[in-house]
Each structure stands twice: as C-alpha cells, then as structure tokens.
Amino acid sequence: MNTTIALIISIVISFGVTAGLGFIIIPWLRKLKFGQTILDIGPSWHKSKQGTPNMGGLMFIIGIILSFAATAVTVHLTGGNLESEYSSLITGRETVLMIAGLVLALGCGLVGFTDDFIKIKLKRNEGLTAKQKTIGQVIMTVGYILTLWLSHNTSWYIPFFGTVNFEKNLFTAIVFWAVSFFIIYGCINSVNLTDGIDGLCSSVTATVAITFIVIGFIQNFTGMKLFAGALLGGVLGFLCWNWNPAKTFMGDTGSLFLGGMVVALGYMCKCPLLLLPIGIVYVCETLSDIIQIGYFKLTHGKRVFKMAPIHHHFEMCGWKEKKICVVFSAVNAVGCIVGVILLYFGIVK
C-alpha cells in the first residue's frame, strides 16, 4: 500500500461512515426532538427550516475519527519495508501535531455540543453565554499552543521572509503565543460563522481539505494527507444530507469541530499564516460581521450590508443558497491556489 492508496482509503472510509450515519443519526435526532430553532433575526424564509434536526455534525466527527484511526493503524501494520515512507505519520513531532489537532477539534466540538444541547434540549435559545463559550474555546486554544510549545513545533515558514523559529528569545516567544492565539481562536470562530446556510460551511471546507492534501504531497507529510483526506470525506459525506434543502444541520457541534481541524492543518504545514488565503471565505465572513457591528454602533443604526455575515447579505440580494455555496466555494478555491503557490515557491520543509 502506498501513500495515494492510503489517502483514498481515508477519504472513502470517512465519506462512507458519515453518509451512512445519516440513516441512523438523523432519525435519532428527530426522535429526541433535537430540531433547530430559527431565530427572528435571520432571513424570514429560514422559518421553513424550523425543526430540522440539528447537531448533525456528529456524523462527520465520528466518520473523520474512525477514518483517520483506521487508516493510521492500517498504514502502521502494513509499513514493513515501506516504514520510511510513513515515518512522518508514526514518529516525531508530526505525530504530536496530529494528536493535538484531533484533541483541539474534539474539544471545540464538545464546546459546540454543550451549546447546542442547551439550546435544543433545555430550550434556552442563547445556549451557552458568550462568556462560557469564550472560556471553553480559550482553554482549548491555550492548551493547543502549550502543546506546540512543549513539543518544539515553533518554526513557521512566513511567505517572503523564510523560516522563523520563535524559541529564540522572550520577544519571539511572546509573538508566537499572541499570534497563535489570534489565529486559532479567530479561525475556529470564523468557520463557525460560515455555517449559516445549507451546505456552505461543508462545501467551503472541502476546498480547504483538498488544498492541504496537495500541501501534504508537496511537503511529503503522509499524516497531513490522511488528516485532510478524512476531513474531505467527512464534509462530502455530510453534504449528502446538508445540501439545500438540508435534512440536517451540523450545529455548533460540527462547525467548531471543523474549525479545530482547519487550524490543526494550518499548523501541520508549519505555515499557519496561509490560513488567511486558504480560508479567505472564513475571513470575509468574520470581517463582514465586525464591519457591520462596528459601523452600526458608530452611525447609530446604519448598516454596510443588508445582513451579516456576508452570506446573508447575498441571500437578501436574491441569491439562492445553492448559488452562494458554489460561488463562495469557487472564491475560496482561488484563495487556496494562492496559498499553495506561496508555500510551493517558499521553504516547504
């Protein structure tokens, strides 16, 4: 078994498990009455989605974990004389990056699950308070950064500048912690904001996963390929049920988990700054929200967008949800290409 076959297995298992679980988990969520409550602040036509099973993100969480675990074990057991080809998967700092990345994603997913559970089962529309949600995400973020620091995963490739090791002195250490906190916390919540219409977060994240598979080949990092492959299979499997009209929503359970996965991939390639172009749609979603809120407060009620985040603005302009998904994914794909070019023509070790 070579790297490409292992990647294909990873994608197929994740897709199959996730798509298959839809036949089990969606009826189960309906039985438990875990339906989405549509708030009045959203587009009026979203009211028709009232009661659609939420927390469907559990499908791809299970699919991704089972896929990555099964593929990793298979590769390890069949390594034999190919062990050197898979050395980056089963030894060294890269293993720490993969394990820590999964823990980050699961931890963020747990915060999201708690939020969804409170909203749906306990009938509290606000879910976790902003403070509670922030505390949970901060704990996961700081824990992940600490793991990176203790495992000496502190060297980044910075486009146009080269590789920088942040362990040089106190100043660079502070920069590493501060910038990492901003990137991780910001990315997790940006992915969460992108989950606002049927299929959007999943389709955009699929372009991100494909990009990191390509980067995995460029850097010859098998673990990254399998990690990204499991993510790709999971979101594609979920799209079978989440494409408009959606049979289920991923909820914060799924979107926060995906945010953790995307962050982990950014750090695996040792160039987390590339998450800016590779996740350009995530960035735009967040900026549109910040701009809308800031401008509203400064002008005492005026708005830049018809509604924020920006995918709702295009909805209000008459775009169908499917069109938004296709266009946003295409835009993100362009950002992904830019990211790969920046990395490929730089230091890729």
Confidence category of residue 82, pLDDT binned at 50, 70, 90: very low
| pLDDT tops 60 at residue 45 | no
d(CA 319, CA 198): 13
Q: List the one residue out of 330, 249, 315 whose CA is nearest residue 50.
A: 249
Extract the tokens encoding 140: 């996961």
Q: What is the pLDDT of residue 80?
A: 39
Distances (CA, A) of 143 to 23, 30, 31, 149: 36, 35, 36, 10
| pLDDT tops 80 at residue 92 | no
Percent of the chain with pLDDT over 90: 71
Give me the amino acid identity at 253.
T
Extract the tokens encoding 208: 């991100």
Give me the numbers of helices (H) and strands (E) for the chain, helices first please: 13, 2
The stretches of 32-120 forming alpha helices (DSSP H) are: 57-77, 87-90, 93-120
DSSP code of 246?
P
Which tens digit of pLDDT belongs to each residue from 59-81? Answer: 999 999 999 888 877 776 765 33
b/e map of 44-53 (b: 16 or more CB within 10 Å)? eebeebeebb
d(CA 197, CA 193): 10
pTM of the model: 0.92
Q: What is the pLDDT of residue 2?
A: 78
Token look-up 């290409």 returns: 337
SS3 call for 220 = coil
Confidence category of residue 161, pLDDT binned at 50, 70, 90: confident
Which tens digit of pLDDT belongs to each residue from 321-343? Answer: 999 999 999 999 999 999 999 99
Q: What is the pLDDT of residue 185?
A: 97
d(CA 199, CA 218): 29
Contacts of 133 (CB under 8 A, 6+ apart): 111, 115, 127
b/e map of 261-280 (b: 16 or more CB within 10 Å)? bbbbbbbbbbbbbbbbbbbb
| pLDDT tops 60 at residue 308 | yes
Which tens digit of pLDDT belongs to each residue from 242-263? Answer: 998 999 999 999 999 999 999 9
